[in-house]
Structure 1
Amino acid sequence: MLEWLKTNATAARDKLSAEVSKFKNREFMEAVVSGCALVAAADGNISSDEKQKMVGFIQNSNELKAFDVKDVIKSFNEVCAKFEFDQQIGRAEALKSIGQLRKKEDAARLLVRVCCAIGSADGNFDESERAACRTICNELGLNPGDFDL
């Protein structure tokens, strides 16, 4: 009986830690998803290469590993749906989410690097995608020149 309690207490503690970690990083996850969608939609088309690049980042990111890939993809699809409904509404909602990282420079810089990688995922980091990344930099108070934009 005592062993069962120890085992279940450890499992419960681990689950709680994972849940706390999710809430702690949710803001970053939503900002990354929004930034990726903003860049991916910049050329009017969200390509499968851009989606795959984002999924790869999610699977390898220490910052997002607390999240189930399915949850992040669901969030990405929700943001993309806003762009499909209305480009301006999608853009405004994405920038609102991105702006939450304004005072978190390390997270903000990582967000811009991820967005640049998403923009170049299809082999062509075109001007509309660069402009979206510059907009993200401006929203975060970062210098676009620091990212060769």
Structure 2
Amino acid sequence: MQTQLESKKNELKSGSFRDASMAMCALVAAADGSIDPAERQRVAALIGTNDVLKNFPADDLQRRFNDYCGKLTADFAFGKVSVLQEIAKAKKKPAEARAVIQIGIVIGGADGDFDKSEQAVVREACYTLDLPPHEFDL
């Protein structure tokens, strides 16, 4: 998945991709309905080391990720609607939409366990982006 992302790195420089990616990272981190500090830190570290995301300033990505996490922790159901709306902005460009899903899978599986709740939110993002979940084995 990461290799596929890196091959498209030069195409993934838009603001909508940046925002949708950070929204996806927050959604995966909060997939079980809460974000513990260790998980938040782990996802933040992954964002900082992801080659594709190095197209953007790390502090900007961190701020956006934290904003989305804040929305999800304040009210998960309402925050999820808001975060999925951000993810939907990547729908206009199919390469970006697929990359957002791939980032969700990379982040979800980074701890060695892409669990059911993480798979469920990434699947939901697929529907938001009009992408077939089976294309990503979801």
State the TM-score bracket (shorter-chain normalisation): 0.7 to 0.9
Give the TM-score, by structure 2 length: 0.82
Runs of 4 or more above 6 Å deviation: none
Structure 1: unaligned runs, 5 residues or longer = 1-23
Counterpart CA distance in 1 for 2:69 and 2:87 is 15
Contact 1:49-1:121 at 8 Å conserved across structures: no
Q: Which moved more, 1:45-54 or 1:73-82?
A: 45-54
Deviation digits for residues 106-132 of structure 1, max 9, x if unmatched?
A: 000011001001111121110000001
Match of 1:77 in 2: 66
Q: Which has the larger radius of gyration?
A: 1
Counterpart CA distance in 2 for 1:70 and 1:106 is 25
RMSD: 1.4
Contact 1:39-1:118 at 8 Å conserved across structures: yes
Structure 2: unaligned runs, 5 residues or longer = 1-12
Equivalent residue for 2:106, pick from 117, 133, 145: 117
Q: Which has the higher contact order (CA 8 A, sep 6+)?
A: 2
Give the TM-score, by structure 1 length: 0.76
Identity of aligned residues (%): 37
For residues 122-141 of structure 1, the aligned pairs below 5 Å read 122-141=111-130
Counterpart CA distance in 2 for 1:122 and 1:65 is 21
